[in-house]
Amino acid sequence: MSTPTDCDIAVVGAGMVGATLACALAVDGWRVTLVESSELAWPPPEFDPDAGPDLRVSAISVASERIFRNLGMWDLLEGWRISPYWRMEVWEGGARIGFDSAELPWPHLGHIIENRLIRDAALHCLHRAGGERVRTVTGTGVSDMRSDGAQAARLRLEDGREVSARLVVAADGAGSPLRGIAGLRAWQRWYDQQAVVAVVACEHAHQATARQRFLRGGPLALLPLADGRCSIVWSTAAEHADELVAMAPEAFSDAVSEASEHVLGRLELDGERRSFPLRFLQAGRYRAPRLALVGDAAHVVHPLAGQGVNLGLLDAAALAGVLGTAGASRTDPGSARLLGRYERWRKGHNLLVGGVMHGFKHLFGNASPVLILARDSGLSLVDRSGPVKRAIMRQAMGLEGDLPPLARIAPA
């Protein structure tokens, strides 16, 4: 005899990954409770075209785009603000490498999309798909979780309420309280860097090209926006990041223009600046009884290649794929067998990508003349090798590997 529960699956965390996962589960017919520590308007508010862009943006891969399309999110995002990019240029010193979607051929390499809009699109689709199957509990975090292992887990919230579910998913970020409550250890290392984010107006057209220059202190990325501006992500030493955020707007514009070697002419700060610390994190395990980790709760990588949120979205798609459709097989969503399958599917891939990004961070941050020469030679060599470049592009776009059904092309 089964224990009555409030829902099939409780997703804790309504960021981009958590909201997308909740949407996928609701589409598949599961009873979902979305728990979010901040206040969350429900139903979600309509898009305001006059609101300024979110400072935090993500480079969304083709695989993530497919996830959004298959969930019905893409139509919303296209009607709001998305910025496709067709080319990418990376350089250090005199060595450059360029990637062009036409070499595959493919219509684009990816899209630059504001984080807030991704989350809002997922929440809109969750509201549309869920009906009575979806419940939201916001403005309170989780203080404890207990599992009987066999049938259900019970969340105790900070405001005293409780939520019972057959499966709990921790999508509650890199500092995941649920990961700690469950006793799941994570190896992490704080980098000696912060990422400074801002929006800049460009003297020259960005031509739908994402650009990244490797500097001594870390990479500077110029990400093209649909209105002709660029979102910048400047990873640099913590002291330098503090200086960049504190300096006068004109001085900041001078600094970012010089750092980009004026590749787009003069860059003028347009709005505020923020910074956030960077770290590497990998959880030793992605599951505990009645609990699964997704997104930043399981892994955090350096933003130099823009893979972080794409890995998290693949986690969400893989977990939804493992669980299947509610009622189709009457599967227990919290069974150890299914959670083990999810962990095996995603952990190896995330470890590989995280390790590569960790290695790149240290490789390009090393000032050894020998390594600088090797990096420059390597960039030039790869730029001349069509097959290698095409392989790199396909991997970055999410066109290779064991993709979850949601990340594949939807049937006609």
User: Is the pTM of the predicted complex or chain greater than 0.95?
Assistant: no
Domain that holds residue 78: 7-84+110-188+280-367+402-407
Residue 123's domain is classified under what CATH number?
3.50.50.60
pLDDT tens-digit readout, 316-364: 999 999 999 876 666 899 999 999 999 999 998 888 776 666 555 544 5
Asked if pLDDT for residue 373 goes beyond 90, the answer is: no
Q: Do residues 19 and 134 lie in contact, with contact meaning Cβ atoms separated by under 8 Å? A: no
**3-state SS class at 11:** strand
User: Is 219 within a domain?
Assistant: no
Residue 245 pLDDT: 98
Q: Which pLDDT band, with edges at 50, 70 and 90, does 159 fall under?
A: very high
Asked if pLDDT for residue 375 goes beyond 60, the answer is: no
Nearest-angstrom CA–CA distance, 26 and 128: 9
Distances in whole angstroms, Cα of residue 200 to Cα of each of 121, 220, 239, 326: 25, 13, 22, 46
User: Is 305 within a domain?
Assistant: yes
Residue 191 pLDDT: 85
Q: H/E/C letters for each residue in 349-382?
A: HHHHHHHHHHHHHHHHCCCCHHHHHHHHHHHHHH
Residue 381 pLDDT: 59
Residue 2 pLDDT: 44
Asked if pLDDT for residue 388 goes beyond 80, the answer is: no
Query: Who contacts 391 (Cβ-Cβ below 8 Å, separation ≥6)?
Result: none
User: Is 210 within a domain?
Assistant: no
**Number of structural domains found in the chain:** 1
Nearest-angstrom CA–CA distance, 85 and 110: 6
Q: What is the mean pLDDT of the chain?
A: 88
Asked if pLDDT for residue 214 goes beyond 80, the answer is: yes
Asked if pLDDT for residue 213 goes beyond 90, the answer is: yes
User: Is 395 within a domain?
Assistant: no
Q: Do residues 214 and 91 lie in contact, with contact meaning Cβ atoms separated by under 8 Å? A: yes
Residue 357 pLDDT: 61
Residue 303 pLDDT: 77
pLDDT tens-digit readout, 50-97: 888 889 999 999 999 999 999 999 999 999 999 999 999 988 877 788
